[in-house]
Structure 1
Amino acid sequence: MGLLDRIGRVIRANINSLVGQAEDPEKILEQTVLDMQEDLIHMRQAVAQAIATQKRTERQCAQAQSTSNEWYQRAQLALQKGDDHLAREALTRRKSYQETAEALRSQLDQQSGIVTKLKQNMLTLESKISEAKTKKDLYIARARSAKASQQINDMLGRVGTGSAMSAFERMEEKVLQLEAQSEAIAELGTDDLEKKFASLEGGDAVDDELAAMKAQLLSGTDNTVKLPPSQSQSQSSSA
């Protein structure tokens, strides 16, 4: 039996949790006010019905009292005519209507108390509905503000998560790598261009020197550079 109670308690707890998560404050408050207004409609109908019953009882009581008075007058007339037997019957009828009127007056007292109580309850419910509408608007505004704040916090939380930051870090490394590759390509292109210009400049210097040598030969000037003697020639001279 204890195990079944525990299982039942767990099931109820899970159901209550699901219901709590599914509750939307705005919808619940709107529905609650609608339910209260529906109760007010039923309350007004009950008050109207009680008042109608009270008025009907009042008419019946008045009618019974009126009939009782009529039979009393008839009893007086019978006595005046010297008919005691007829007067007795009239008084018997009067007594019956008089008892009915008294019973109806007792009902009227009860019905009057019921109507008064119903009217008080109706006024109390109307006051509560007015208060509930004011609170409903306030709570709905607070719920919407809280929901918006929660959404913003959720977005900020997602932005601040490790996965998001790691994605930015990876992209930063990728951009740095692309920039480094671009700089390397630019440097290589500049080196090749400088080498080409250096080659052209070096070629011009050789050509200029060759032209100068040719000019010296043509002018007959012996400005030739003597080469150093070879090793064999050096040995012969020494001998």
Structure 2
Amino acid sequence: MGILSRASYVVRSKLNALVSSQEDPSETLDYSYEKMRDELQDVKQGIADLTTQKKRLEIQKRRLEENVEKHNQQAREAVQAGRDDLARKALEKKKEKMTQIEDLETQIADLQNTQDRLVEKKDELQDRIERFKTEKETMKARYEAAEASARVSEAMSGVGDEMDETARAIERSRERTEEMEARAEAMDELQDSGAFDDALSDEDDIDKELREMRSSSEVEAELETLKTEAGRGSTEAVETDGATGDEPNDDEVATELADLKKGAEGEAESESEEDSN
């Protein structure tokens, strides 16, 4: 086998494989059935043509037989008239017609034999077509059932994959929800602790401590006001001043701090007196 022959064989094999992969068995069976019906129709047409030809020969034979009878009558009349020459001529034509009739009979017999064989083949082919039709419908039903089963299996497989993907999506949603809930709780905790206030405020540690001291001083001032209203404020104030005056402190920072404290207490007392008035 040459290179071109091998290449042609490979190409044909590939094409046949491609056609087979794309082939629909139902369409193939229907095509085969229609092709067999066409062949049966061709056989019937052949039988009809053969029968027509046989009938034409039979008609021709009957005409020759009529001529034979005519030549017989001519020979009798010629003999009665004493014309042996005419009688001989009529008999010669009769013999010629008889020879043609024999040839036609042979041809008609051959056509009849051929017709009989074609009829037998036609009947056999028709039986095969009927059997093939039944088998074709059975095969088509089996193929459609198998195709439906395959589609159901593929659908079930697809549903399984989809359910797995859905389960994974639910799990991811659950994880993200838990993460967001934890984040919200952390934000609430930071809000309650004041971390956001510290982050947004411009105060440093000293400003914060001073603010807390002022708040404490306001509370103490209000407490002194309540004590004064109850008649206890003067005695405790004197004792507090005496205790403060007796404390020695040589440190300049401590002295300045004490002065600031006294000033703050004085302001607090002044505010208390104003509130009392």
1:110 deviates by 0.5
Could you tell which deviates more after superposition, 35-44 or 179-188?
179-188
1:76-95 to 2 correspondences below 5 Å = 76-95=76-95
Residue of structure 2 in register with 1:65 after alignment? 65
1:165 deviates by 7.9
Residue of structure 2 in register with 1:138 after alignment? 138
Q: Partners of 1:46 and 1:166 in 2: how far apart?
A: 66
Residue 180 of structure 1, aligned match among 178, 181, 189: 178
Residue of structure 1 in register with 2:16 after alignment? 16
Q: Partners of 1:70 and 1:100 in 2: how far apart?
A: 15
Across the aligned residues of Structure 1 and Structure 2, the Cα RMSD in angstroms comes to 3.9
1:160 deviates by 5.6
Post-superposition Cα deviations, 1:94-148, rounded to whole Å, max 9, x if no partner, equal 0111111111100110111111122222222222222222122111111111222
Q: Partners of 1:67 and 1:169 in 2: how far apart?
A: 102
Could you tell me which amino acid in structure 2 is paired with residue 138 of structure 1?
T
Could you tell me which amino acid in structure 1 is paired with residue 140 of structure 2?
I
Could you tell which deviates more after superposition, 128-137 or 57-66?
128-137
1:3-152 to 2 correspondences below 5 Å = 3-152=3-152
Could you tell which deviates more after superposition, 10-19 or 41-50?
41-50
Post-superposition Cα deviations, 1:54-100, rounded to whole Å, max 9, x if no partner, equal 11111111211221122123223322333221111111110111111
Q: Partners of 1:124 and 1:173 in 2: how far apart?
A: 69
1:217-228 to 2 correspondences below 5 Å = none
Q: Which runs of 5+ in 2 are unaligned?
A: 194-277
Could you tell me which amino acid in structure 2 is paired with residue 94 of structure 1?
K
Could you tell me which amino acid in structure 1 is paired with residue 101 of structure 2?
A
Residue of structure 2 in register with 1:223 after alignment? none
Q: Partners of 2:50 and 2:142 in 1: how far apart?
A: 42
Greater relative contact order (CA < 8 Å, ≥ 6 in sequence)? 1
Q: Partners of 2:167 and 2:3 in 1: how far apart?
A: 54
1:172 deviates by 4.2
Q: Identity rate of aligned residues, in percent?
A: 29
1:174 deviates by 1.0
Could you tell me which amino acid in structure 2 is paired with residue 48 of structure 1?
A
Could you tell me which amino acid in structure 2 is paired with residue 180 of structure 1?
E
SS at match of 1:19: helix
TM-score (norm 1): 0.70
Q: Partners of 2:79 and 2:8 in 1: how far apart?
A: 83
Q: Which runs of 5+ in 1 are unaligned?
A: 196-239
Aligned length: 217
SS at match of 1:82: coil
Could you tell me which amino acid in structure 2 is paired with residue 134 of structure 1?
T
SS at match of 2:34: helix
Could you tell which deviates more after superposition, 10-19 or 24-33?
24-33
1:12 deviates by 1.1
TM-score (norm 2): 0.62
Could you tell me which amino acid in structure 2 is paired with residue 100 of structure 1?
Q
Larger radius of gyration: 2
Q: Partners of 1:88 and 1:160 in 2: how far apart?
A: 105
Q: Partners of 1:159 and 1:5 in 2: how far apart?
A: 50
